[in-house]
A and B are shown apart, each in its own frame.
Chain A
Amino acid sequence: MTEPVLSVRNLQVEFASRRGTLRAIDGVSFDIAKGEVLGVVGESGAGKSVTGLAVIGLIDPPGRIAGGEICLSGLRIDNLPAEEMRRVRGKRIGMIFQDPLTSLNPLYRVGEQIIETIRTHLNLSETAARRRAIDLLAEVGIPAPEKRIDGYPHEFSGGMRQRVVIALAICAEPELIIADEPTTALDVSVQAQIISLIKRLGRDHGTAVMLVTHDMGVIAETSDRVAVMYAGRVAEIGPVQDVVRNPLHPYAKGLMGAIPTLAGDDKRLVQIPGSMPRLSAIPRGCSFNPRCAFAFDRCRVERPEPLPRGAQSVACHLYDSVPAESAA
């Protein structure tokens, strides 16, 4: 197997607060291969976005990466000096944020912002950068790019702005794109277009994509693999079909049960009782145990480690040295 584009090993992110250190990410590991789309799902506060920010090196104080390793195509990037990490950002890792309305600087033409980014990372003349910017805008599906390049962000609609943001993220041909809830702020009809755009770009350029979202529909549509996060840990990770059709972790089962189907049966959607613990009050043992219908004594004491199970990997004591059938 070739080396993964992104390899995260046992990542830990901590935030210092007045009431002690809060661990937002606790031992997260995953890989993304070239051209692969990894979906990251979970409730708000599960650590999806923080993981993305940690990878691109934008965790602001009082937060910090407290442990683990992040490697980009074999190069360790979590401990790079600030200036070298800046060169990696935008050039080798592109990032797309949630709200396209606020991601662009309102005072500069979109062209100026794209050209600025291109010229920061690639050794191109102003004219060459402008030509490239027009090509990029065309590639992300902006009509009449040679005219729109001189428009200001407020002259674009939300969906069009997100396309500009995507053009900015891919302008230096990055190996990895981190998309942090790229469709949350958009209309449903536009969401589908943006998702298929990200998917197409990933395929055409062989870019690895880390797609952070809480929308299981988007994940099922786009991703090759999916990681389910809960309270700063990866509960389950595996190929998207397997995880959607046959979730192993009780939390993942709950999530999949909460997806409405088009079949139209009037069954009530399953809901997971309770809510995710605050970072300051993560329970001992498995962090999901207070909400888990299958929890037993061991879950309240010992933290489960991820275990491979077929193509999937699951962090749950139910699957530890117990035959598979007793799980459900």
Chain B
Amino acid sequence: MLAFTLRRAVQAIGVMFAVGIIAFSMFRFAGDPVNQIVSIDTSAAEREAVRKSLGLDDPVPVQFVRYFADAAQFKFGVSYQFRQPVSTLLMERMPATLELAICATVLAMVFGILMGVYSALRRDTVLAKLFQAVSLIGISLPTFLIGILLIYLFAVILGWLPSFGRGEVVKLGWWTTGLLTLSGLKALIMPSITLGLFQMTLIMRLVRAEMLEVLRTDYIRFARARGLTTRAIHFGHALKNTLIPVITVAGLQFGSVIAFSIITETVFQWPGMGLLFVQAVQNVDIPIMAAYLLMVSLIFVTINLVVDILYTVVDPRLRSTFGRAV
């Protein structure tokens, strides 16, 4: 078990190294960074001075090692447009993105699993068919459209919820949270739904399909032959077996939720990393783009690692196979 975790951790470091190479190469191939910093009338001598101060005249491998060593300590250089360390900018924005992503995922998991289980167990009811129909909409409508429709309905027509921003936030050390104020919570509702709707419908359809599959297995039939209660069979035996693939998908989806919160954050002007990234793209702010790439990869890799470990917690068969394989 420990060996398995270690091996996966080493693999994760390998992935991060590869991503680091890509992030670093962005500096070299997306134009000359010096041109981004200086103005048009800067003299050649001054340009050289800037180049030297940034260490851009060193050989590429030296630059790479330096970039990597810094990145490992969460130092990503200085943003061209804000003239502030990128790590400070990201740290400021990260709580907003993580709160939004976690809210959206929790929402998607809770409702996705509930609706999925319901529509598997009560397949022929009107409500189950309604869920299926709604899930089709959720899976096929693009995120920004859902966001705009929600804003139109709840902010413009009904005026119940704010159309943009994060509301009031409370500082807890370096972390800022919108979960403790009423306006913060209200501001969180629509972005969470927008961001979580796709995952919710995905999880619902997955749970439904898996549950129907599991209910047909021999061990469920045997559980019925043993006279267990319907509740024990459905929620004790069937649901646990259903959750194995759901964990994978939900885990991987959490990564995409963070990565693709860009769109939702733009629609709702949510002050998170996604919005920062969009602004960085517009201004060719490469340090931010590279740092964002690294951060998102780190989150993805970490989640994958956690999902792999969670697997072995849920499924005892994997514990021993991995134990033997090492």
Contacts and interface: CB of A to CB of B under 8 A. Distances in A.
Interface residues of A, number: 31
Chain B contact residues (Cβ within 8 angstroms of A): what range?
Answer: 20 to 34
B8 interface: no
A103 interface: yes
A92 B301 CA distance: 53
Contacts of A97: 218, 221-222, 225
A116 B228 contact: yes
Contacts of B241: 105-107
B217 interface: yes
Interface string A84-110: 001111110011010100111111110
Contact of B315 (A106, A165, A172): A106
Interface string B208-235: 0000000001110111111111101000
Contacts of B222: 95, 97, 103-104, 165, 168
A70 B90 CA distance: 72
A89 B317 contact: no
B316 interface: yes
A105 B226 CA distance: 12
Contact of B316 (A58, A91, A106): A106
B317 A152 contact: yes
A86 B224 CA distance: 8
B316 A117 contact: no
A155 interface: yes
Q: Which residue, of B225, B228, B241, has the highest number of chain A Cβ atoms within 10 A?
A: B225
Interface string A61-97: 0000000000000000000000000111111001101
A91 B219 contact: no
A106 B229 contact: no
Nearest to B243: A107
Interface in B61-95: none
Interface string A246-285: 0000000000000000000000000000000000000000
A107 B218 contact: no
Q: Which residue, of B217, B222, B230, B236, has the highest number of chain A Cβ atoms within 10 A?
A: B222
Given A105-B237, A107-B241, A86 B229 contact: yes
B217 A117 contact: no
A317 B126 CA distance: 53
23 contacts: A58-B224, A58-B225, A86-B228, A86-B230, A89-B225, A91-B227, A95-B226, A97-B225, A102-B217, A103-B218, A103-B222, A106-B315, A107-B316, A108-B240, A116-B228, A116-B236, A120-B227, A120-B229, A154-B316, A154-B317, A168-B222, A168-B226, A172-B227
A104 B219 contact: yes
A8 interface: no
B320 interface: yes
Contact of A117 (B226, B314, B317, B320): B226
A299 to B, nearest CB: 38
Nearest to B225: A95
Given A86-B224, A89-B226, A120-B227, 8 more contacts: A56-B225, A103-B222, A106-B315, A106-B317, A107-B240, A107-B315, A107-B316, A165-B222
Contacts of A109: 316
A58 B222 CA distance: 10
A90 B222 CA distance: 10
Q: Which residue, of B217, B221, B229, B320, has the highest number of chain A Cβ atoms within 10 A?
A: B221
Contacts of A86: 224, 227-230
Interface in B92-133: none
B314 A107 contact: yes
A148 interface: no
A169 B226 CA distance: 7
Contacts of B317: 106, 152, 154
B232 A87 contact: no
Interface string B39-51: 0000000000000
A102 B218 CA distance: 6
A60 to B, nearest CB: 9
A121 interface: yes
Contacts of B219: 102-106
A104 B223 CA distance: 8
Nearest to B237: A105
A154 B320 contact: yes
Contacts of A106: 219, 241, 315-317
B241 to A, nearest CB: 6
A149 to B, nearest CB: 14
A165 B227 CA distance: 14
B228 A155 contact: no
B324 to A, nearest CB: 12
Q: Which residue, of A91, A116, A165, has the highest number of chain B Cβ atoms within 10 A?
A: A116
A135 to B, nearest CB: 18
B50 to A, nearest CB: 61
A219 to B, nearest CB: 22
Interface in A142-156: 152, 154-155
Nearest to A172: B227
Q: Which residue, of B218, B241, B314, B320, has the highest number of chain A Cβ atoms within 10 A?
A: B218
B227 A99 contact: no
A152 B219 CA distance: 14
